[in-house]
């Protein structure tokens, strides 16, 4: 019996013009029926948009075996050869654990494609912000609906503290493709930098809505939302977000792994403030057992919170 798993696909591939769009659609339909014998998780008519000249999968969740998932990924890779921009992410998972993961994106020699790939690579290189901006701007000049290029350029502007330009780029990305979590997250970071925590929470809620729980950004957004709520004095709401974050088991390679101690410490602070001191004690004990990681929460910081507990709870915590 074939084992079935949960398959998730989401993303968009942009083709730029009607002729290329039609070629991609015909190729998809032909290969789906004649090569893959229909063992693909969706039909062309369900994902190709003639109005947008794109392949659009806001989010597809289906039961799939390994072969169907791989067939679908391989066919999307073939389709991506016609695309000028965009990407599609694909997961195969079982009970919250990722079994397989793939990102499908165009890698052709079109200027918009290559400029974006170059700019994206330079974004993470210290001191290369100007070069990254220039490459991403070239991608946008060649294809004005390049949502991913706007998002990455927005991040460069955020790092350079060009907040007005960053907001423009992130908003432009959202207006082109509002199913992506990253530009909402980026715009939230700009709002946080400007102490506009209320607007940040709105965009972090959108980030959570657009992302899936298998993505690190989903949990990063929850943690940052909690920090915003703390700054807004909404400690009970912050505690709800932190309870979810601290209950999640992260792999070591997940960027959220390093934030577990700080998040658990913040959770305890919120619980103390809202009078749930028994649960706060448990959270402090959990925080003390975690490595320091990001956030620089020391043992002394934890002990300071323990000292705020009644004597009976203090003794239990120290023990």
- pLDDT tens per residue, range 224-269: 999 999 999 999 999 999 999 999 999 999 999 999 999 999 999 9
What pLDDT shows up at residue 312? 45
Domain ranges of the chain: 5-104, 109-214, 216-319
Question: 216-231 and 181-193 are packed helices; what angle lies between their axes, rounded to 10 degrees?
Answer: 30
Q: DSSP letters of 188-257?
A: HHHHHHTT-HHHHHHHHHHHHHHS-TTSHHHHHHHHHHHHHHHHTT-HHHHHHHHHHHHHSPPPTTSGGG
Spatial CB neighbours of 68, under 8 Å, sequence gap ≥ 6 = 7, 39, 40, 41
Largest separation between any pair of C-alpha atoms in the chain: 75
Q: Which of 156, 153, 157 is closest to 144 using CA atoms?
A: 153
CA nearest to 62, candidates 99, 101, 87, 93: 93
Instruction: Outline where the chain has alpha helix (H).
Output: 18-34, 44-47, 66-80, 111-123, 129-142, 147-159, 163-176, 181-193, 197-210, 216-231, 235-247, 260-273, 277-289, 299-306, 311-318
Q: How far is it, in rounded angstroms, from Cα 76 to Cα 28?
A: 8
- 120: number of CA atoms within 13 Å, CB side? 18
For the beta carbon of residue 283, count every other beta carbon within 10 angstroms.
27
Q: What topology is assigned to 216-319 in CATH?
A: 1.25.40
**Topology classification of domain 109-214:** 1.25.40
The pLDDT mean for the chain works out to 96
- CA 36 from chain centre, in angstroms, equals 31
Confidence bin at 319 (pLDDT 50/70/90): very low
- Let me know if 212 is exposed, middle or buried by CB neighbors in 10 A (0-12, 13-18, 19+): middle
Mean pLDDT of 55-80: 97
Give dist(CA 313, CA 291) in Å, integer.
Answer: 23
Q: Tell me the pLDDT tens digit for each residue of 150-205.
A: 999 999 999 999 999 999 999 999 999 999 999 999 999 999 999 999 999 999 99
Domains 109-214 and 216-319 share a fold: yes
User: Residue 218: beta bridge partners?
Assistant: none
Predicted structure pTM score: 0.94
**268-303 tens-digit pLDDT:** 999 999 999 999 999 999 999 999 999 999 999 999
Closest of 244, 259, 317 to residue 290, by C-alpha: 259
């Amino acid at each position: 019996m074939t084992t079935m798993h949960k398959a998730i696909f989401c993303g968009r591939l942009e083709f730029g013009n009607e002729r290329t769009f039609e070629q991609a659609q015909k190729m998809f339909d032909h290969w789906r029926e004649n090569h893959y014998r229909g063992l693909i998780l969706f039909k062309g008519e369900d994902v190709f948009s003639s109005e947008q000249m794109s392949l659009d999968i806001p989010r597809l969740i289906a039961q799939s075996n390994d072969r169907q998932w791989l067939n679908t990924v391989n066919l999307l890779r073939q389709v991506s050869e016609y695309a000028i921009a965009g990407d599609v992410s694909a997961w195969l998972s079982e009970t919250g654990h990722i079994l397989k993961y793939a990102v499908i994106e165009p890698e052709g020699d079109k200027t918009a494609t290559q400029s974006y790939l170059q700019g994206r690579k330079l974004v993470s290189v210290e001191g290369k912000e100007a070069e990254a901006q220039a490459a991403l701007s070239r991608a946008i000049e060649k294809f004005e609906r390049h949502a991913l290029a706007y998002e990455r350029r927005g991040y460069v502007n955020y790092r350079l503290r060009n907040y007005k330009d960053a907001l423009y780029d992130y908003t432009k990305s959202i207006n082109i493709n509002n199913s992506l979590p990253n530009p909402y997250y980026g715009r939230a970071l700009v709002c946080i930098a400007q102490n506009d925590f209320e607007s940040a929470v709105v965009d972090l809620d959108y980030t959570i809505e657009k992302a899936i729980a298998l993505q690190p950004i989903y949990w990063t957004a929850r943690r940052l939302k909690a920090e915003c709520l703390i700054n807004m004095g909404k400690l009970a709401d912050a505690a709800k977000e932190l309870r979810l974050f601290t209950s999640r088991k992260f792999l070591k390679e997940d960027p959220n792994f390093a934030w577990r101690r700080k998040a658990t410490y913040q959770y305890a602070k919120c619980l103390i403030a809202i009078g749930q001191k028994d649960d706060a004690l448990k959270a402090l004990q959990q925080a003390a057992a975690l490595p320091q990681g990001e956030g620089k929460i020391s043992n002394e910081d934890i002990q300071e919170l323990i000292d705020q507990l009644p004597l009976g709870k203090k003794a239990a915590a120290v023990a």
